[in-house]
Structure 1
């Protein structure tokens, strides 16, 4: 029997959960905003991806984060299993459940109280306040450093959907297979030694990676030859600028990629990755003028914009930046359009009919496909 992707409504018996309000985490924003490239929406509001060598499906209700972890053999076909195998699965599940709950807390950094940070940033910054009323629950992931670094080497001169395809091909070609669900094969992210292999560049060029193929192979080789396999994760324990400068010695890693890696997997919450997109936000929404006459993003402009936002938002500036970055993506513009309707008579009538009391609930109504 073909294993299927799990869906919560089919029965919550094999699902587990953590208390987590949508104001602290919005899966549809966090998993699709360009921090990570391996999550897919496999059913309405259900996201499937890989964390720590396991395949997970995640979904959420108003105050709960639900998760389903697949065994390597397959998927959500428990209803077809015998009683014995179900009993065996429940024993395995209880054995792993606390480990997996902790993996999820760590991945989403749930110890960080996002609501408190939003209040701080909103008090310091009126533009942030306006945006954050719509884009609640955007938090930083704490990803595996190898996956994060090598995914971001693929991002140069690229856009999110193309990067997703590239990272998926990388995993299919070089990562260990984990399981198959509904015709989709899931693989772990490749190890450093798999990426460093001498045949990798040619193989990745054949898969459409272009000049990035060499950067991927050479960076992996340089890490293993010069530093060893624990070096990357060890950068969590050094100061931000030291970690950034170390990353910049790798082929294909400039300042922006180094900052992304520092922020998204190395615990450097103050790192603000600056690209032309963020430069435009600074100029348009913050009347930022330094380097205005320049066509390209120089090191100085990069540094100045980072310093500007750090001064404005404080030690978690990188987290605040990700909320604005997310709010500026084309794919999420419909949420802004909904706010414009908020004051119209038609919208007030809609609210009355559906008894929705606050806009944040309407924004979360996205997955209900209300046809606005």
Structure 2
């Protein structure tokens, strides 16, 4: 199956969920620096790894379409032709459940937007252009180590780093249209004695120490299951446990203090302000504003690049005549 195939072209290979754009916008959510494992494989179609399988997702009016690719066995890996994986025979209810959990579709987003718009004029101004921005329910291991990689970094470099991480430490899943996909590394894969050196060789720099150190700390302490259980722990408790890990600390997007680091008290006060303003899902509202700022920043960068290209062409006599 080719990535360019539309759902209507191969109905037997695709399933769908009811999901209007006001509840989910794939193009905004999957490019908003929450997960770094999705790429726009063809216009409107996004391919990535979820639950140790490779998926392609796309939207059509009020439906979310998806197909899932099967894993290669050793024989298929050796004999594959054209590097195109086959659609997997996955239980429909199971697949629906994975997507519902990942996108947290049980949370009514439209109602939350109305609440945030009523509480915050800034949110109201942004919301109409950025509907359907949800917080993904990422695997805790992938979430933790992906965001350790975000320190002093930008999206394209983070994405490339995580791709190298998965290729070097993750299990191969399948090859699709010339691109090989790997699962995110297990905790045990990142605790080897040579893990830090291998990560440095992959270009992780000082983050290599944090990734390998956090992997060992989790393996020797609360374990992968304990990390997952932090999802239901009180916020203060979960933050305390996470901030004890190497490379994990407080972060607040868009806050400046004259170039100085914010104190723990200042972080707490800022967080409390937004929790009072936006309510119990304040992090979701912040994700919408972050997405808006990110998209505007990308548009400005694109405009600068186009202006630079134009000036460069003019300086070499290649501009419009």
Q: TM-score range by the shorter chain?
A: 0.7 to 0.9
Q: CA deviation at 1:220?
A: 0.6
* Structure-2 separation of matches of 1:188 and 1:215: 21
Q: For 1:125-158, what per-residue CA distance to the aligned partner results, in whole angstroms no more than 9, with x for missing partners?
A: 1211110011000010001000000000101000
Alignment partner for residue 150 of structure 2, among 149, 155, 176? 155
Q: Is the 8 Å Cα contact of residues 7 and 46 (structure 1) preserved in structure 2?
A: no
* Structure-1 separation of matches of 2:18 and 2:33: 25
Cα gap change, 1:158/1:333 in structure 2, threshold over 3 Å: closer, same or farther? closer
* Structure-2 separation of matches of 1:185 and 1:123: 46
TM-score by length of 2: 0.85
Cα gap change, 1:174/1:294 in structure 2, threshold over 3 Å: closer, same or farther? closer
Aligned partner of 1:325 in structure 2 is: 290
* Structure-2 separation of matches of 1:311 and 1:237: 21
Q: Is the 8 Å Cα contact of residues 24 and 136 (structure 1) preserved in structure 2?
A: yes
Aligned partner of 1:24 in structure 2 is: 23
Q: How does 1:155-174 map to 2 (within 5 A)?
A: 155-174=150-169
Q: CA deviation at 1:11?
A: 2.4
TM-score by length of 1: 0.74
Cα gap change, 1:46/1:247 in structure 2, threshold over 3 Å: closer, same or farther? same
Higher helix share: 1
* Structure-1 separation of matches of 2:103 and 2:97: 10
5+ long unaligned stretches in structure 1: 75-79, 81-85, 257-273, 281-291, 336-372
Query: Which has the higher mean CA deviation after the structures are superposed, 128-137 or 299-308?
Result: 299-308
* Structure-2 separation of matches of 1:178 and 1:123: 46
* Structure-2 separation of matches of 1:158 and 1:321: 20
**Pair 1:205-2:200 in alignment:** yes
Aligned partner of 1:262 in structure 2 is: none
Equivalent residue of 2:12, what SS?
A: coil
* Structure-1 separation of matches of 2:213 and 2:148: 11
Q: CA deviation at 1:333?
A: 6.3
* Structure-1 separation of matches of 2:141 and 2:218: 10
* Structure-2 separation of matches of 1:26 and 1:66: 13
**Pair 1:101-2:96 in alignment:** yes
Measured on the aligned residues, the alpha-carbon RMSD in Å equals 2.1
Q: CA deviation at 1:227?
A: 2.1
Q: How does 1:220-235 map to 2 (within 5 A)?
A: 220-235=215-230
Q: Is the 8 Å Cα contact of residues 7 and 43 (structure 1) preserved in structure 2?
A: no
**Pair 1:296-2:261 in alignment:** yes
Q: How does 1:1-372 map to 2 (within 5 A)?
A: 4-5=2-3, 7-8=5-6, 10-73=9-72, 92-93=89-90, 96-256=91-251, 274-275=252-253, 277=254, 279=255, 295-330=260-295
5+ long unaligned stretches in structure 2: 77-81, 301-321
